[in-house]
Amino acid sequence: EVQLVQSGAEVKKPGESLKISCKGSGYSFTSYWIGWVRQMPGKGLEWMGIIYPGDSDTRYSPSFQGQVTISADKSISTAYLQWSSLKASDTAMYYCVRITMVRGVSNWFDPWGQGTLVTVSS
């Protein structure tokens, strides 16, 4: 079974750093892009960026460029999303996704991790 398992919920203070993880199993981790999606409380889905664990090629949404860092350790089939200085506005649920790309015109997200809730509050 293809599965993405994310790290647990986090409660942090503004200005603190954070790194959350997403471990893939049941497939060749280095052969698929992994993405991160943000969902703020009561809001919709926002694509943040993607990484190809095979060579660590990384792309960011313009909205998140410079705000977060996406990385991966292919030796342990794990992708990461990190912040160097959290803000209250970073409070959200974060999902990792495996991306299937076909012919350059069709990229879909499946499966999704269970989500990591990040709460930033003083």
The footprint of another protein (CB under 8 A) covers: 35, 44-47, 50, 59, 61-62, 95, 100, 102, 105-115
- Rounded Cα distance between 36 and 47, Å, is 6
Which residue lies nearer to another protein by CB, 16 or 110? 110
Minimum distance from CB of 97 to another protein (Å)? 9
Minimum distance from CB of 12 to another protein (Å)? 22
Which residue lies nearer to another protein by CB, 69 or 114? 114
Minimum distance from CB of 85 to another protein (Å)? 25
Which residue lies nearer to another protein by CB, 75 or 104? 104
Long-range Cβ pairs for the range 98-106 (8 Å, 24+): 98/2, 98/4, 98/24, 98/27, 98/32, 98/33, 98/34, 98/35, 99/32, 99/33, 99/34, 99/35, 99/50, 100/32, 101/33
Minimum distance from CB of 68 to another protein (Å)? 15
Which residue lies nearer to another protein by CB, 62 or 75? 62
